């Protein structure tokens, strides 16, 4: 990459292997189900996550929307975190396009939704009420700093959902980061979920795409909903080829990104103008703040860092988010710390 870009793992460029595989990909018309590379990606992704079938979609946003449209009908309700990406950053698609109402539960600092609050949110049979259809969890939970959600909690939510005839969807945009941090098998982690969408295009470096996985019947309906949204694509094998490399080669190396996040966080904790909670840095993401007396605002500092070729996301006047990924090596972390030290001194 041409810069040290920590604004997100969405900024990752495809690797040389991906570009080569894309150029050489076998293709066909995917709306006819005839693209062999897409078919392979969907089958392998499903197997990897322990589900029956998969659907290649253009983004994480589309994966979540297609899932919600498939689980819920118009006027139905989905129980979801008040800081979930789906609620905060997906343009209100579930309401705007699906007519699905959000029943919000406060996201806890550990990324979970309290079980008793979920239980209370499940509607009883009453002519006045919307029908509760699904629960969504996000893993890792981005708004609390990329915290991974462990299996026992997911199982409890799954059991609660199924006891009430609801489905559990996981926005697993960074589910492989969660599995890496929790040192567990990804299929095992999401066993209780009825559907999971995960991104190929974030830490896994593919240029485009996510995969939604679930039962055969669920994916059959999801495929129709993807088509309705205009997401039926033709020779998408050129994109799926990069996705296969993401799945094969990139999932096992995420620990390196987590180690670099640690390195950065520890370096930041040594800068007197910066506040960071090291215990919360568990995957490839972190939030940190300027002390009130730092003498500079976060947007000003972010601008100054650009002159060092360093890009970090300012969230408000004092807070930043930094995300490590494949293109960030330990030497880049050092560059970032040196640039910060220079600008803050
Ligand atoms: N997150 C992006 C921004 O949209 C905030 C980022 O930089 O973190 N679920 C989660 C948990 C996500 O973090 C994101 C993207 C998505 C879904 C949506 O994925 P895309 O961008 O592919 O639609």
In short, whether 89's Cβ falls inside 6 Å of ligand 1 is: yes
The domain total for the chain is 2
Distance from residue 30's CA to the centre of ligand 1 (Å): 25
- Report whether pLDDT(86) > 90: yes
Distance CA 170, CA 26 (A): 31
In a domain, 1, yes or no: no
Taking only the tens place, the pLDDT of each residue in 235-280 is 999 999 999 999 999 999 999 999 999 999 999 999 999 999 999 9
Cβ–Cβ under 8 Å, residues 197 and 173 = yes
Of all residues in the chain, the percent with pLDDT exceeding 70 is: 100
Kindly give the distance from the C-alpha atom of residue 342 to the centroid of ligand 1, in angstroms, as a whole number. 32
Pocket test for ligand 1, best of 138, 142, 196, 201 (most atoms within 8 A of CB): 142
Query: What is the band of 327 on the pLDDT scale with cuts at 50, 70, 90?
Result: very high
14 and 142 housed in the same domain: yes
Q: Which of 10, 59, 210, 283 to mutate to test the pocket of ligand 1 (most atoms within 8 A of CB)?
A: 10
What are the start-end ranges of the H helices in the chain?
Answer: 16-24, 36-49, 60-71, 85-88, 93-96, 115-121, 151-163, 175-182, 186-189, 216-228, 237-245, 254-269, 298-306, 330-344
How many angstroms does the Cα of residue 341 sit away from the middle of ligand 1? 30
Residue 91 beta carbon below 6 angstroms from any ligand 1 atom: no
- The verdict on 259 and 118 lying in the same domain is no
Q: What is the pLDDT of residue 343?
A: 97
76 lines ligand 1 (CB under 6 A): no
Q: Are residues 241 and 266 in the same domain?
A: no
Ligand 1 centre and the CA of 173: distance in Å? 7
Residue 257 is given by DSSP the state H
Ligand 1 neighbourhood includes 136 CB (under 6 angstroms): no
CA distance readout (Å), 83 to 49, 111, 143, 247, 321:
25, 9, 6, 28, 15
4 assigned to some structural domain: no
Instruction: Supply the pLDDT for residue 103.
Output: 98
Residue 141 scores a pLDDT above 90:
yes
Binding site membership of 171 for ligand 1 (Cβ less than 6 Å) = yes
Structure confidence at residue 238 (pLDDT): 98
Does residue 333 share a domain with residue 247? no
Distance from Cα 267 to the centre of ligand 1, integer Å: 27
Average pLDDT, the chain: 98
* pLDDT at 1 (0 to 100): 81
User: Is residue 3 domain-resident?
Assistant: no
Q: What percent of the chain shows pLDDT beyond 90?
A: 99
Q: Using the predicted structure, report yes or no on whether residue 316 has a pLDDT greater than 90.
A: yes
**Where residue 245 sits, what CATH number does that domain have?**
3.40.640.10
Q: 154 and 284 share a domain?
A: no
Residue 2 has pLDDT above 90, yes or no: no
The CATH number linked to 300 is 3.90.1150.10
Containing structural domain, residue 338: 253-344
* Entry field: residues in the chain: 345
Q: Which of 225, 251, 277 is the last residue of a domain?
A: 251
Alpha helices in 164-313 (DSSP H): 175-182, 186-189, 216-228, 237-245, 254-269, 298-306
Per-residue confidence (pLDDT) for residue 42, from 0 to 100: 98
Same domain, 258 and 245: no
Domain edge (last residue) among 251, 269, 294: 251
Same domain, 172 and 232: yes
Q: Report which protein residue has its CA nearest ligand 1's atom 21.
A: 60
């Amino acid at each position: 990459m041409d810069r040290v870009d920590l604004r997100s793992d969405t900024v990752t460029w495809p690797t040389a292997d991906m570009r080569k595989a894309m150029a050489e990909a076998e293709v066909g018309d995917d709306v006819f189900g005839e693209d062999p590379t897409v078919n392979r990606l969907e089958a392998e992704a499903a197997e990897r996550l322990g589900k029956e079938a998969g659907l290649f979609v253009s983004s994480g946003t589309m994966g979540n929307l297609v899932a919600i449209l498939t689980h819920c009908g118009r006027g139905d309700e989905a129980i979801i975190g008040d800081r979930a990406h789906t609620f905060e950053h997906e343009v209100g698609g579930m309401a705007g396009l699906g007519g699905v109402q959000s029943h919000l539960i406060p996201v806890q600092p550990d990324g979970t939704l309290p079980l008793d609050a979920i239980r209370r949110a499940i509607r009883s049979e009453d002519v006045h009420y919307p029908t509760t259809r699904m629960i969504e969890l996000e893993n890792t939970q981005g708004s609390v700093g990329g915290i991974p959600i462990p299996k026992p909690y997911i199982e409890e939510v799954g059991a609660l959902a199924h006891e009430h005839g609801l489905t559990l969807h996981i926005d697993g945009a960074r589910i492989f980061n969660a599995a890496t941090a929790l040192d567990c098998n990804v299929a095992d982690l999401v066993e209780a979920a009825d559907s999971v969408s995960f991104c190929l295009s974030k830490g896994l470096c593919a240029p485009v795409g996510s995969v939604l996985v679930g039962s055969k019947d669920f994916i059959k309906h999801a495929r129709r909903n993807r088509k309705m949204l205009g997401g039926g694509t033709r020779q998408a094998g050129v994109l799926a080829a990069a996705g296969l490399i993401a799945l094969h080669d990139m999932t096992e190396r995420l620990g390196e990104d987590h180690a670099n996040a640690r390195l950065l966080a520890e370096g930041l904790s040594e800068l007197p103008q910066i506040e960071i909670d090291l215990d919360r840095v568990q995957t490839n993401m972190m939030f940190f703040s300027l002390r009130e007396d730092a003498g500079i605002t976060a947007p000003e500092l972010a601008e100054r860092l650009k002159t060092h070729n360093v890009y970090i996301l300012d969230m408000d006047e004092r807070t930043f988010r930094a995300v490590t990924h494949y293109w960030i090596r330990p030497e880049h972390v050092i560059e970032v710390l040196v640039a910060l030290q220079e600008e803050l001194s």
